[in-house]
Structure formats: structure tokens, C-alpha cells
Amino acid sequence: MRRRMGRPGLLGTVARTAVVAGTATAVSGRMQRGAAERSAQQEQTAAAQQQAMVDQAAAQAAAQVSSQQAPPAAAPAPAEDRIGKLTALAELKAKGLLTDEEFAAEKARVLGS
């Protein structure tokens, strides 16, 4: 069989086209994977920065809360004042201005404070 010189035959053209298409597909796939890896890395970096900002804000809030002192508790009312209030409540109940339920509620409030 004689070998032809010049242009390749149909099989040669098909083979060359397949090689070119395969190479293009491989290059395209590598480019897409590289872009996906870069995108994932950027997302991880952004998430880490955001988490750092959240942590810093939480630390600042905790420091601010700890630096503020709780207001001192109200001093309990002196015993004489409680006795005076209870006496006044008893007088109001005796006059009929307070019901038994109202008297009990006010008495509990005075004794609880």
C-alpha cells in the first residue's frame, strides 16, 4: 500500500480532532477546578474573618458588662416603717376600705420588701 503525501485522510482528521477536543476538555476542567478551589478558599477566608469579628464583638460586650458594676440592692425598709405600714393597712381593713384579699396582698408586699 502506498502512503499518500499531502493532506491527511478522513481517519487522520478525526484522530486529530479528537486529540484537540480531549486536550481542550482537560484544560477546561483544570481551569474550572482551579477556580472552584480559589472560590472555596476565599469563602473560608471570609468566614474566618467574619467569625473573628463576631468573637471580638462578643469579647468587647463581655468586657463592657463585666466593667459595669451592678447597682447596690435596695436597703430593706426599717422595722419601724414596716410596722407603721402594717398598722395603717389594719386600720384600712377595719374601716372596710380593704378586702381580705387586698389586705393579704399588701401585707405580703410590705413584709417581702
- Condensed to tens digits (0 to 9), the pLDDT of residues 65-113 reads 777 755 556 665 567 788 888 898 889 889 888 888 988 898 888 888 6
Question: Cα–Cα distance between 54 and 62 in angstroms, integer?
Answer: 12
- Condensed to tens digits (0 to 9), the pLDDT of residues 7-66 reads 778 888 888 888 888 888 888 889 999 999 999 999 999 999 999 999 998 888 888 877
- For the chain, report the end-to-end CA distance as a whole number of angstroms: 117
Question: Cα–Cα distance between 16 and 94 in angstroms, integer?
Answer: 114
Global confidence as pTM: 0.38
| 98 Cβ neighbours under 8 A, 6+ residues apart | 89, 92, 106
Where exactly are the structural domains of the chain?
A: 8-66, 76-113
